[in-house]
Structure 1
Amino acid sequence: MKCSLRVWFLSVAFLLVFIMSLLFTYSHHSMATLPYLDSGALGGTHRVKLVPGYTGLQRLGKEGLSGKSCACSRCMGDAGTSDWFDSHFDSNISPVWTRDNMNLPPDVQRWWMMLQPQFKSHNTNEVLEKLFQIVPGENPYRFRDPQQCRRCAVVGNSGNLRGSGYGQDVDGHNFIMRMNQAPTVGFEKDVGSRTTHHFMYPESAKNLPANVSFVLVPFKALDLMWIASALSTGQIRFTYAPVKSFLRVDKEKVQIYNPAFFKYIHDRWTEHHGRYPSTGMLVLFFALHVCDEVNVYGFGADSRGNWHHYWENNRYAGEFRKTGVHDADFEAHIIDMLAKASKIEVYRGN
């Protein structure tokens, strides 16, 4: 009898050990495969995603849960909505020329120096070193907060803005980017009154309010020398045309357009149509690389097919379109493609 009881107890004990072993194995496997756990035991209040790798548990913010890179209704930089766009877009190229990317690749250097060839050559790096003693030379767009929405308006100079009534809508954006002359006084109802970024080259430059970033689009080393001079000694007064000897802008907000980014647009997007992309295209792709949502105003012809500027009374003043420097039709095609890919919203005006 005692022997039978001993055998029975041993059998029950073995069975209990076996069952507990199965439960432990199952629970361990479940922990490893469940994608989310309640993080209360970790002292948090959010859900935690278990991510494979060597870092263990990784707490995800809202962007991790939604899979979006921003808090906008549409995030320009998110892949997967257009194969055409994804095959062209390169987020690794900075639109700003800084201390960190001063050295241009040889092919970029050659291409850039031929845009407006100069009789006298200059060492670009030496020129930049001097310039970056006057202006920051940093990339202000390096870090993006995925829990915010950076909405940007790219405002062109087309006559189709006249009578559009877009002004209030334009002013509602975080960044408002304008180019060259682009007056706002007297046209506020149609083009808005605010500006955060103004893109110009030396021959089109004008004074700006202190709260506006001047983005210099350089076509030659002399342009870099000019901005350094215009913010200090005022010695340079002529490039291929008369330029302002002094410029009133906020030095801390001066940014330099990256020639490598310039060539990237020429190679990948406008595909060598025209000698080089227009200022409008340069600004548009700058926005596509630093913004979450991009809305485009004042590009293309007006409703009558005329190409002119919104501040001009002559509707037939758009002779720039006939120069052959830019391919306006192909650039219009690219804008249409971007709109169809849901990367931009285009407001056509009148």
Structure 2
Amino acid sequence: MQTIKGPAIFLAQFAGDDAPFNSLDSIARWAAGVGYEGVQIPSWDARLIDLKRAAESQTYCDEIKGTLAEHGLALTELSTHLQGQLVAVHPAYDEMFDGFAVPEVRGNPKARQAWAVEQLMLAARASKNLGLTDHGTFSGALAWPYVYPWPQRPAGLIDAAFDELAKRWRPILDAFDEAGVNLCYEIHPGEDLHDGVTFEMFLERVGHHPRCHILYDPSHLILQQLDYLGFLDVYRDHIQMFHVKDAEFNPSPKQGVYSGYQSWTERAGRFRSLGDGQVDFKSMFSWMAANDYHGWAVLEWECCLKHPEVGAREGATFIRDHIIQVTERAFDDFADAGVDEATNRRLLGLD
């Protein structure tokens, strides 16, 4: 067994134009000050990282790690959630997702997709230069508008969508394989990879690619009413990243999973700060300890009620208190009778 690493924090929800959130050095100082040991960097945020430079310059990558080390922090992973989303966009979402891309490719879906793919290629090389083993992203979605089968879906529609999705991602997966980095898709509503079944559909189409894995976030599973703890057992070989995020689901006579187009505060399913929701983190961290999860416990803060800085401060303590320092010996070793193989055979009546 091995002890999970953490606590760490995903910086996407905290980066901003005001200090201390407007540079890598100052946000690292803040993160260390509230109790974190690692940070996950959103690769699209130029205030924190120049992705192209990181892909091309080992010296620059060493400087990033050095900046973090000055504050006692490690770099856990990079993220390309926004760029990954743009690898596959259904036309219904073109305008809404355009803001994820650089201005020069907006309004041009083909150019935007090419830009997104190049971003992922850069992220593979940057991750290698930074000495990372895992990377988080979104799959994007071509079939999501058809998630509910009414009107009846034409035969072959979903197969065609997943065939195309796999075709777009296969060269990216190969680039991550060349870099020695796992590409971990966050299982998330709005993505074509939004549950276990859809992950398996994709995995089959990319030939069970050795770098195709999962970023596990229980909050997105509880809001879909999946068995989020059983998910750990089913996909144990693919869970390579872990976002620690809480959620609650409180259905009523008026709304359920779809929540009637309400705002986050009025939805049956809501993201909450750690400890304020319904996720069974004690069981989850026990599973991680028992199953040799190798990575980091990374807070992703999203809550429609609590202030982010309060959530971040409380989250560091919450994660630290839930990480299980694994034992190096069995609890009943004191009663070891020191029996040898010959004695074992006699006890079994084999001699």
The structure with the largest helix share of the pair is 2
Look at both structures and tell me which one has the larger radius of gyration over its CA atoms: 1
The normalised TM-score by structure 2 is 0.27
Q: What TM-score does the superposition give when structure 1 sets the normalisation length?
A: 0.27
